[in-house]
Structure 1
Amino acid sequence: MDRKEGGLYMRLFTAIELNEEAKQELMRLQQELKETLPCRKWQTKPQMHLTLHFLGDLSSQQMELVKQEMEDVTASFSPFSLTLANIGAFPNIKRPRVIWVGVSGHLKDLDSLQHTLAKRLTQKKLYSEDRTYAPHITLGREPRMEGNADSPHLPGVYPVSWRVGEIVLFHSTLTSKGPIYKIVSTYSLRA
């Protein structure tokens, strides 16, 4: 927790957890990428997730409001499934800053869940995002292009699927060795 203006604040985000098989596939992809597209910072296995909303530093009172909105929204959604899809990069593969894996599957359900919660959180001034939601799982940051910079080798992704039955509120603590994520609370999709 951080202290700001006399109060305690937590760096929070909402996300979807991955199953073990999906995480294993992401770790395999990292190993392949380390040969041709080494990154300065690789995500560790416990850090792998599908972010829904980055909320930033919120007070404990604001966090309670987030929890209530998550509880209310998840009650109206049914579980759905997602599948690991393609590898990509932000802003693009020729000048990558972030290497990621996208998802396929029930994207309408994912988009609807993300948008519905975003709208509720925005109305309560708990979230603000001006970019279109682009679902992805970060593999690594700050890659160093080696060899032919025009065509880095990108391994194929094995299409591992998993059932999305809940969303999670995470607390992120920034450390010199990278962020540490701790689950604050979990909300089941149960419509």
Structure 2
Amino acid sequence: MSATTVRAFVGIALPEACRALAARLGKGVAALSRGPASPVREATVHLTLKFLGDVPTAGPDGIDAVAAALGAVVFAPFALRFGGGGFFPDMVRPRVVWAGLAAGAPECQALAARVDAALAPCGIAPEARPYRPHLTLARLREPGRGGDWPGALTLLTDAVWPETPVAAMTLWRSLLSPAGARHEVMATFAASTG
């Protein structure tokens, strides 16, 4: 990232109860890994709709144009609830442990598709792969060292998540540092209630 770009993404902000549970689960999963693992930090927990990468700070494809395009996305309020989970790319050599959605996945997929369509005129390419809503809980740095992955699945299955109302989506900037990423809200876009 340079002074002329901002690293950005679009997502759904989550309430403190969800963020705290995600952080606890991430620590629990990390403890089951035989290799180094980075559990998610509570302050950065969110549900990503689209990662934008480095966006120019000015110009016709700049962050202001992105914000205007996102402001035109129409979606109704909905509720989501996390439940279960899994591993990316798989359970044999996992790099990421995630929580899935037990409710609200179709609405998240529809919203991600609307975001994709709205941002295409800004020069941001649509996703090549289907959107799979998930919440990252931990990143495993040395997946070949293994771990108690059945135990991790049990943790994910047994977790009881609160239902979360979704009344807005957020445009964040991500600031990278040796201590990890820090996210700043750039704009919030409310769902349509009428």
Query: Aligning the two structures, in what range does the TM-score lie when normalised by the shorter sequence?
Result: 0.7 to 0.9
SS in structure 2 at match of 1:126: coil
SS in structure 2 at match of 1:2: coil
- Rounded Cα–Cα distance in structure 2 between residues aligned with 1:119 and 1:146: 38
Tell me by how many angstroms 1:151 deviates: 4.5
Gaps of 5+ in 2: none
- Rounded Cα–Cα distance in structure 1 between residues aligned with 2:145 and 2:151: 10
2:19 is equivalent to residue 19 of structure 1:
no
Q: Which residue of 1 aligns with 2:189?
A: 187
- CA contact 2:76–2:192 (8 Å) conserved in 1: yes
SS in structure 2 at match of 1:131: coil
Higher strand share: 1
- Rounded Cα–Cα distance in structure 2 between residues aligned with 1:162 and 1:54: 22
1:45 to 33, 42, 51: 42
- CA contact 1:96–1:143 (8 Å) conserved in 2: no
1:101 to 99, 104, 107: 99
2:123 to 122, 125, 133: 125
Deviates more, 1:27-36 or 1:115-124: 27-36
Runs of 4+ in 1 over 4 A off after TM superposition: 143-151
SS in structure 2 at match of 1:14: strand
Task: Write the letter of the residue equivalent to 1:26.
Answer: A
The superposition leaves residues 45-98 of structure 1 with CA deviations (integer Å, 9 ceiling, x where unpaired) of 01100000110111123111111111110xx21110000111211001221011
Q: Which residue of 1 aligns with 2:162?
A: 160
TM-score by length of 2: 0.86
Aligned residues: CA RMSD:
2.1
Deviates more, 1:164-173 or 1:60-69: 60-69
2:51 is equivalent to residue 92 of structure 1:
no
- CA contact 1:15–1:49 (8 Å) conserved in 2: yes
Tell me by how many angstroms 1:9 deviates: 0.5
Tell me by how many angstroms 1:139 deviates: 1.1
- Rounded Cα–Cα distance in structure 2 between residues aligned with 1:9 and 1:65: 13
Q: Which residue of 2 aligns with 1:63?
A: 63
Aligned residues: percent identity?
Answer: 26
The superposition leaves residues 23-62 of structure 1 with CA deviations (integer Å, 9 ceiling, x where unpaired) of 1221221232233126532221011000001101111231
The superposition leaves residues 127-164 of structure 1 with CA deviations (integer Å, 9 ceiling, x where unpaired) of 44211111111111125569975844121221321001
Task: Write the letter of the residue equivalent to 1:187.
Answer: F
SS in structure 1 at match of 2:178: coil
- Rounded Cα–Cα distance in structure 2 between residues aligned with 1:182 and 1:162: 21
